[in-house]
Amino acid sequence: MVRTQRKNLTGWLGLLIIFTLLLVVALSSQTALSSLAVKFSKSDVRLLSNGSVVPDAGSMIFTTDEGAAMILHTSELPANNAVTVWWVIFNRPENCTAGDNQSRCGMGDLENNMTQPSVMFAAGTVSNARGNASFGAHLPVGDTEGCQAGLPCGEGLTNPMGADINLIVRDHGPLVPEALPDQILTFGGGCNNAPPGTGTPGQFACEDLQGSVHEN
């Protein structure tokens, strides 16, 4: 038990260091930090299948008028699989109508232009032998570089202080050399069930496994 706790603590300390670096990047264009409006949000990671909380997991998002920075650590993933995390942004969450008891904005709201939605790549990695993975990313306002064909994406993050930002953890299966690096960089890399043009296809039925909701 002590060993497990120590590993978890070490992992979170590492993530805090990453988060600090991301925050420096996010704030690098600011000249007066004392006058900067900042929001901080912390959230559980939950299984999308049943809403249960993933143990030893969590995410944090820091937002300013300039953009957002996030870190996410999670567990109970398939071991040694390619995994990606996606920004799912609703810039006008007050217009959402497809939410549930977990979040006020749902997947149906991605088709509602009134919510000003965008889905963008955030980060990718390979889970370790214990099924753990850590991610970090920064998204400036108006940056649409993470948009990918076949996914809803408007103008990216345009209302950082008022948007609902969900983080989705997606499994791309065991590593396949011919599908790399798309397996950790695209929505459909390594998948046999993704929209055309979203990455090098493969034989794995990719799945969104986990999510973390941050509401303003």
Terminal CA-to-CA distance of the chain, rounded, Å?
Answer: 36
CB burial readout 53-79, b (16+ within 10 A) else e: ebebbbbbbbbbebbbbbbbbbbbbee
pLDDT tens across the length of the chain (216 residues): 222 333 333 444 455 555 555 555 554 544 444 456 889 999 999 999 999 999 999 999 999 999 999 999 999 999 999 999 999 999 999 999 999 888 999 999 999 999 999 999 999 999 999 999 999 999 999 999 999 988 999 999 999 999 999 999 999 999 998 899 999 999 999 999 999 989 999 999 999 999 999 998
Measure the CA–CA gap between 87 and 48, rounded to whole angstroms. 15
Query: Between vectors from CA 141 to CA 16 and to CA 157, what angle results, nearest 5°?
Result: 90
CA 18 to chain centre: 15
Is 134 inside any structural domain?
yes
Alpha carbon of 13 to those of 9, 18, 31, 68: distances in Å?
Answer: 6, 9, 28, 20
In this structure, is residue 49 part of a structural domain?
A: yes
Amino acid identity at 170: R
Q: Please check whether residue 138 lies inside any domain of the structure.
A: yes
> Residue 156: inside a domain, yes or no?
yes
Which range marks the domain in which residue 63 is found? Answer: 2-28+38-214
Return the HEC string of 100-152.
Answer: CCCCCCCHHHHHCHHHCEEEEEEEEEECCCCCCEEEEEEEECCCCCCCCCCCC
Residue 72 has what pLDDT? 98
> Model pTM?
0.85
Q: Could you tell me if residue 115 is inside a domain? A: yes
Is residue 114 in some structural domain? yes
**Tokens at residue 19, please?**
């988060």
84: nearest Cα among 214, 215, 216, 204: 204
33 within domain boundaries: no
The predicted-structure confidence for 151-192, as pLDDT tens digits, reads as follows 999 999 999 999 999 999 999 999 998 899 999 999 999 999
* DSSP result, 59-111: EEEEEETTEEEEEEEE--PPTTEEEEEEEEEES-GGG-----SS-SS-GGGGG
CA–CA gap between residue 24 and residue 213 (Å, rounded):
23
The number of domains in the chain is 1
